[in-house]
Chains A and B, each alone.
Chain A
Amino acid sequence: MREYINGNEAVARAVRLARVDVVAAYPITPQSPVVEEIAAQIASGELDAEYIRVESEHAALAACYGAAVTGMRVFTATSSQGLAYMFEMLHYVSGSRVPVVMAVANRGLAAPWTIWADHQDSIVCRDTGWIQLYVETAQEALDTCLQAYRIAEHPEVLTPVMVCLDGYVLSHTEEVVEIPAQEAVDTFLPPYKPQRVVEPERPLVFGVGAGPDLYPAFKQAQQEAMDRAREVICRVDEEFYRIFGRRHGGLVDPYRCRDAEIVLVTLGATTGTAREVADRLRQEGIKVGVLRLRALRPFPAEEVRRALAGCRVVAVLDRNCSFGYEGAVCTEVKAALLGLKEPPAVVGFILGLGGQDIRQADIEDIFRRCLAAGSGAVHQVAAAQSR
Chain B
Amino acid sequence: MLPARLPQMPEVWRLESKPHKFCPGCGHGIVLKCLGEAVEELGLVDRTVFACDIGCSLLAWDFFNLDTVQTHHGRTLPVLAGLKRVRPELVVVAYMGDGGAYAIGAQHLVASAGRDDPVTVIVVNNTVYAMTGGQMAPTTLPEEKTETTPYGRRVEENGPSLRGPELVASIASPGAYVARGSVARVRQLKGFIKKGLRAQVEGGHLAFIEALSTCPTNWRTNARETWRFLEEKMHKHFPLGEYAPAQAVREEGGGAQPPRKS
Contacts and interface: CB of A to CB of B under 8 A. Distances in A.
A40 B103 CA distance: 22
Contacts of A51: 148
Contacts of B54: 81, 113
Interface residues of B, number: 23
A196 interface: no
Contacts of B138: 55
A56 B104 CA distance: 5
Interface string B36-61: 00000000000000000010001000
A56 B103 contact: yes
B73 interface: yes
Contacts of B70: 113
Given A26-B104, A55-B103, A81-B72, A32 B158 contact: no
Contacts of A32: 132-133, 135, 147
A35 interface: yes
A359 interface: no
Contacts of B148: 27, 35-36, 39, 51, 53
A56 B75 CA distance: 12
Contacts of A35: 135, 148
Given A27-B132, A29-B133, A36-B133, 4 more contacts: A53-B148, A56-B74, A81-B72, A81-B73
B103 to A, nearest CB: 4
B132 A29 contact: yes
Contacts of B131: 29
Interface string B56-98: 0010000000000010111000000000000000000000000
Interface of A: 26-29, 32-33, 35-36, 39-40, 43-44, 51, 53, 55-56, 81, 85, 110, 113
A40 B150 contact: yes
10 residue pairs, one from A and one from B, having the closest CB atoms: A55-B103, A56-B104, A39-B148, A27-B132, A36-B147, A27-B135, A43-B150, A32-B132, A43-B151, A40-B150
Interface in B122-168: 129, 131-133, 135-136, 138, 147-151, 158
11 contacts: A27-B148, A32-B132, A32-B133, A35-B135, A43-B151, A53-B148, A55-B138, A56-B74, A56-B103, A81-B54, A110-B72
